[in-house]
């Protein structure tokens, strides 16, 4: 039997913290005011629209997750679908004739400015499903969320005196389906392929007129019937999920055939854990973590905590009033920054990641931060590579010869300089990259400590006159 339950197991605790950041990714952007242009077109990640809207406008009504697992001692699967439901908020003030309430575009209070806004109400669908029920045709679970109207009186700061206005929140009924199924993988490992499809099953339809992508209002009409930021948490107590980016050798053929649409599954729950999976509408690495230095959620997509905090601190008091009235989460950001101690702000500046001395691992080079990185991932490669009939490896002395075609402008400045090979790596396409430090670079020691090198293709270096990897002739 498939039970809808509250999934509060410890396996999900760490993954939920990361998932919270995904759920509210881009929820409200700096400067956190409804009037800001970039806060007028929202809800970009993991949006599952009603099927009728998807057919007309090309957005997606469903997402599909496929992953591999080994049941081992596991008898059931924990599933938690999370998404936001749009709650449309309007503002009213007392009618001039005292007969009731009338809508307004702005209600000025001493501590905030209230304006119409679409709030996101967190929703969860949690299941505990016996694994043997998922074989063959699997199981389909339907969920419904009712609509409604709620009224909140508004008083001046301090909460005393008569109501000077009210907030009206309207939500629409929406429905969805989750289909879960497993199939055994061939071979002796007892592994399964798990498929989970999440679908918007709302029967809302847009007005009967020719679709026009330029009509922003059309999409806004569909959003209250949509699942926003939809993602899955999967738990397998007693078993393990297999990494989709680095599966065991025997599972790689099956991993390549997994079909994931509008979502991507990664191992979650902390390093070394493989019993929790997060299927995210944003591509992540396995075992994602929140930065320990982050003082709290800032909600801004691709946020950089230090910059956002400094800019938020620089807002005028009038701008902060509007931000506080835009959304409760925006108000929390303003209060967080206003009360941030100096030592917390200093902690946001200059953090260095990836110094794993115990394992000797190196962090990846960021292609945006260094010339010649060319998507070089820290994937184990050959210890040496042959260039011009010479073996080149760690410690080899080379001369840089970037070409005039296919090279970054920064590469050209390094042409003719001597360098030392620090790493030979292979990217995900099987291409070899040679990491070097340049002679005379005052940051060489820091680069070596962090494992952040400049990367060149073998045909962009000249090994003539250098020794081999051991320095021999």
pTM of the model: 0.71
Residues 201 and 115 in one domain: yes
- Please say whether the beta carbons of 201 and 232 come within 8 A: no
Specify if 359 maps to a domain: no
Residues 115 and 57 in one domain: yes
Residues 301 and 406 in one domain: no
Integer angstrom CA distances of residue 383 from 157, 391, 396, 418:
67, 10, 12, 21
- Please say whether the beta carbons of 440 and 420 come within 8 A: no
Residues 56 and 195 in one domain: yes
Q: Which domain holds residue 165?
A: 3-342
CA proximity to 394, closest of 425, 439, 430, 416 = 425
- CA–CA separation, 8 and 164 (whole Å): 41
Specify if 225 maps to a domain: yes
- CA–CA separation, 317 and 73 (whole Å): 58
Tens-digit pLDDT string for the chain (473 aa): 445 554 556 667 778 888 888 888 888 888 888 888 888 888 888 999 999 888 777 789 999 999 999 999 999 999 999 999 999 999 999 998 888 999 999 999 988 999 999 999 999 999 999 999 999 899 999 999 999 999 999 988 767 778 899 999 999 999 999 999 999 999 888 999 999 999 999 999 877 665 555 555 578 889 999 999 999 999 999 999 999 999 999 999 999 999 999 999 999 977 788 999 999 998 888 988 877 777 777 877 656 787 888 888 889 999 999 999 998 989 988 988 888 887 777 777 665 555 444 444 443 333 333 333 333 344 455 678 888 888 888 889 999 988 765 556 677 788 889 999 998 888 767 788 888 999 988 878 877 876 778 888 898 999 874 444 444 33
Q: Which of 320, 342, 364 is the last residue of a domain?
A: 342
Specify if 472 maps to a domain: no
Residues 318 and 387 in one domain: no
Number of compact structural domains in the chain: 2
Residues 311 and 383 in one domain: no
Specify if 366 maps to a domain: no
Specify if 324 maps to a domain: yes
Q: Which of 294, 322, 342 is the last residue of a domain?
A: 342
Residues 332 and 420 in one domain: no
Specify if 323 maps to a domain: yes
Q: Buried b / exposed e across 379-392, counting CB within 10 Å, b at 16+? A: eebeebbebeebbb
- Please say whether the beta carbons of 198 and 232 come within 8 A: yes
Residues 318 and 452 in one domain: no
CA proximity to 194, closest of 76, 22, 20, 46 = 76
The pLDDT value recorded for residue 369 is: 36
Residues 249 and 387 in one domain: no
The pLDDT value recorded for residue 278 is: 95
In a 13 Å sphere around the CA of 163, the CA atoms on its Cβ side amount to 15
Instruction: Give CA angle at 323 (319, 326), nearest 5°.
Output: 140
User: Can you give the CATH number for the domain in which 449 is found?
Assistant: 2.30.30.490
Please list the helix, strand and coil fractions of the chain in percent, rounded to the nearest 5, in that order: 20, 30, 45
Q: Which of 293, 322, 342 is the last residue of a domain?
A: 342
């Amino acid at each position: 039997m498939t039970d809808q339950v509250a999934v509060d197991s410890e396996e999900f605790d760490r993954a939920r913290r990361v998932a919270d950041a995904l759920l509210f990714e881009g929820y409200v952007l700096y400067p956190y005011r409804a009037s800001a242009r970039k806060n007028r077109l929202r809800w970009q990640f993991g949006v599952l629209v009603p099927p009728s809207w998807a057919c007309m406008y090309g957005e997606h009504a469903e997402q599909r997750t496929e992953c591999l697992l080994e049941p081992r001692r596991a008898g059931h699967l924990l599933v938690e679908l999370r998404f936001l439901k749009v709650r449309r908020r309007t503002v009213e003030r007392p009618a001039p004739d005292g007969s009731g309430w009338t809508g307004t575009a702005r209600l000025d209070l001493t501590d905030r400015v209230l304006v119409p806004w679409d709030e996101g109400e967190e929703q969860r669908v949690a299941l505990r499903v016996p694994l043997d029920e998922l074989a063959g045709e699997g199981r389909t679970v339907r969920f419904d969320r009712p609509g409604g109207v709620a009224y909140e009186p508004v008083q001046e700061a301090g909460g005393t005196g008569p109501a000077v206005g009210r907030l009206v929140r309207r939500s629409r009924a929406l429905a969805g389906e989750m289909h879960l199924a497993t199939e055994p993988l061939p071979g002796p490992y007892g592994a399964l392929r798990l498929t989970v499809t999440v679908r918007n099953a709302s029967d809302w339809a847009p007005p009967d007129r020719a679709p026009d992508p330029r009509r922003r209002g059309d999409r806004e009409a569909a959003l209250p019937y949509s699942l926003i930021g939809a993602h899955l948490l999967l738990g397998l107590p007693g078993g393990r999920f297999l990494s989709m980016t680095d599966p065991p050798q025997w599972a790689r053929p099956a991993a390549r055939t997994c079909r994931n649409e509008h979502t991507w599954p990664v191992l979650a729950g902390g390093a070394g854990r493989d019993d929790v999976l997060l299927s995210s509408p944003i591509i992540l690495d396995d075992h994602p973590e929140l930065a320990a230095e982050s003082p709290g959620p800032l909600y801004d997509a691709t946020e950089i905590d230090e910059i956002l905090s400094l800019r938020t601190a620089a807002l005028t008091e009038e701008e902060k009033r509007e931000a506080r009235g835009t959304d409760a989460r925006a108000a929390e950001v303003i209060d967080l920054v206003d009360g941030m101690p100096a030592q917390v702000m200093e902690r946001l500046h200059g953090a260095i990641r990836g110094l794993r001395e115990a394992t000797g691992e190196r962090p990846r080079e960021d292609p945006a931060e260094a010339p010649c990185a060319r998507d070089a991932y820290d994937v184990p490669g050959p210890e040496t590579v042959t260039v011009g009939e010479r073996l080149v490896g760690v410690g080899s002395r080379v001369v840089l010869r970037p070409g005039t075609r296919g090279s970054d402008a920064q590469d050209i400045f390094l042409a003719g300089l001597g360098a030392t090979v620090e790493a030979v790596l292979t990217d995900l396409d099987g291409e070899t990259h040679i990491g070097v430090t340049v002679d005379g670079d005052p940051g060489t020691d820091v680069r070596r400590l962090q494992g952040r090198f400049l990367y060149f293709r073998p045909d962009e270096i000249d090994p003539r006159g250098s020794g081999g990897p051991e320095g021999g002739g």
